Structure 1
């Protein structure tokens, strides 16, 4: 008996809710584990562009969220603890670090999620030390992350029987439509990782093609700028410049990606043609973000000067001359 649309929707929604919960709690737990060391590393190891990119990549991989890292960087820049010029390389590195998640999502680890969830639950319940409980929470949420994606994949499997759904998913091969869908989904769920996770699971079930997956991935990269831009509200101009750089980097790289989507798709097929579609999409995510970083890295000094000219610090901004009226 075919699953009803209601049961499919409820199961998929349950998986998505669990995923969003796991992502937020995992990022919070990992930040607690890292503590003040994260801020110290961001300050100490970002003095050159290659070091800043590498630091952003490593910290994002460890914290499992580019948004968390970029928001943290914006806060540090706003507080004067991190120079604006150092933040640019970290933003680029965060875009590489976030691709590690998509590589992990392409593995079918949902059935093994209990191997992380059970020890995590035991640590969370039995440990008397805060660090032990935090580590347990991180382990549990890490397992929950993959279990929630497993639920989404299982919910999506029956959609093969619905021709209307298949026809709509095929329309996502149109680059603009696919990117628009990716951006909208990411704006709604406030997580590009959730969008990419769903894309990879749909592809694994044979519901999404590589061109459609790449188009949605490009849109998700744009949608993730929303929370980092919100983090700049009420902060000083150096922090706003960091948020604008993140937006500009994504806008330019995504525009180039959409313009070159056909040769880019062909390149992904050449490099990863033997892999299944879900793995191809994960590889495309890595290739796209690394290419964007390689394109922008030499331009960082120019980007710094441009943003400082467009949005100068308050104390250096030119003051308008006040003219007193001449007396007769």
Structure 2
């Protein structure tokens, strides 16, 4: 058991190292330029969603994109609907990474690390950028592979199975997801871990769906805490972000059994893809359902915050 803990910790450390390298490489534009991009191209809700989607892929963080949207709304540089669109797009954008992790690319790890290490020391910016991306992805998949090999023996531990079985109850699964998101502040990392556990036949996909609901709610915490120091517009956007994920969870929760059946039908032999798809479709469908009621949702939020100015 001690060896498992050591190797899982090693795998997590390597995964985070690769994620940091990848994220740093993708942040090719500064926050100031991001704000200019948002200000220039967020003319309607659908364009705002697309901008949020692109920014989340570039920054590998829906939380950071959301914080920027909240701060711009606070400064009066972004209207509520554009800021809300950016948040919804960012939630969809963060699903791209876990879709990538669902591919069986482990055989390419040595090549990605080797060529990435060479290219990242080149003088040309494009070659350096490509090298950093390859190296980051190679390190991420290496970390996932180490975790995968380390946790496989856990399927034989009855105690582990007992704790895992708790997550089949919606309330516990959602609460665990919220707690994990509060601790890790990264839904991408947590979902990648669930993909590994599901592949190792430790965590059922059905249970993972409930945890994913909680992760989506929990990742709202950073922007919400930041909004406490903003004006009413900033608070409205942060609260909208929470309501967006809560509404999605309320809609999906009673349909989870059917939702899982659809996911399983789509990719019956790839549990990692099922988890990635559960995350992606949750955010896409939630966005489509929330867009028509945004006006009423903001009216309700207006009632909640009252006349508070700070």
Please tell me whether the aligned partners of residues 27 and 58 of structure 2 are also in contact (alpha carbons under 8 angstroms): no
Please tell me whether the aligned partners of residues 172 and 178 of structure 1 are also in contact (alpha carbons under 8 angstroms): yes
**2: distance between equivalents of 1:123 and 1:34?**
23
**1: distance between equivalents of 2:112 and 2:234?**
37
Report the secondary structure of 2:28's partner residue. helix
More off after superposition, 158-167 vs 33-42: 33-42
Q: Which residue of 2 aligns with 1:292?
A: 286
What does residue range 40-79 of structure 1 map to in structure 2 within 5 Å?
Answer: 40-79=36-75
Q: Which residue of 1 aligns with 2:18?
A: 22
Deviation at 1:182? 1.9
Deviation at 1:65? 2.0
Q: Which residue of 2 aligns with 1:80?
A: 76
Q: Closer, same or farther in 2 for the Cα pair 1:265/1:21, shift >3 Å?
A: same
Please tell me whether the aligned partners of residues 95 and 188 of structure 2 are also in contact (alpha carbons under 8 angstroms): no
Q: Which has the larger radius of gyration?
A: 1
How big is each residue's C-alpha offset from its partner over 1:55-75, in whole Å with a ceiling of 9 and x where there is no partner? 212222233221221122223
Q: Which residue of 1 aligns with 2:165?
A: 170
Q: Which residue of 2 aligns with 1:183?
A: 178
How big is each residue's C-alpha offset from its partner over 1:88-144, in whole Å with a ceiling of 9 and x where there is no partner? 011111121111122111112244234333343334444386x86566444432332
**2: distance between equivalents of 1:143 and 1:33?**
23
Structure 1 runs not aligned, ≥5 long: 318-328
**2: distance between equivalents of 1:273 and 1:125?**
39
**2: distance between equivalents of 1:256 and 1:221?**
14
Q: Which residue of 2 aligns with 1:321?
A: none
The alignment's TM-score, normalised by the length of structure 2, stands at 0.88
**2: distance between equivalents of 1:206 and 1:217?**
18
How big is each residue's C-alpha offset from its partner over 1:25-70, in whole Å with a ceiling of 9 and x where there is no partner? 4333322346654333222222211111122122222332212211
Root-mean-square deviation (CA, aligned residues, Å) is: 2.6
Q: Closer, same or farther in 2 for the Cα pair 1:138/1:72, shift >3 Å?
A: farther
Q: Closer, same or farther in 2 for the Cα pair 1:143/1:33, shift >3 Å?
A: farther
Q: Which residue of 2 aligns with 1:325?
A: none
> Once superposed, which parts of structure 1, at least 4 consecutive aligned residues long, lie more than 6 Å away?
312-315
Q: Closer, same or farther in 2 for the Cα pair 1:301/1:27, shift >3 Å?
A: farther
Report the secondary structure of 2:27's partner residue. helix
The alignment's TM-score, normalised by the length of structure 1, stands at 0.84
Structure 2 runs not aligned, ≥5 long: none
Report the secondary structure of 1:89's partner residue. helix
Deviation at 1:12? 1.1
**2: distance between equivalents of 1:111 and 1:67?**
32
Q: Paired residue for 2:276, among 259, 282, 296?
A: 282
Please tell me whether the aligned partners of residues 8 and 147 of structure 2 are also in contact (alpha carbons under 8 angstroms): yes
Q: Which residue of 1 aligns with 2:9?
A: 13
**2: distance between equivalents of 1:215 and 1:314?**
35
Q: Which residue of 2 aligns with 1:322?
A: none
What does residue range 1-328 of structure 1 map to in structure 2 within 5 Å?
Answer: 5-33=1-29, 36-127=32-123, 136-270=131-265, 272=266, 274-311=268-305
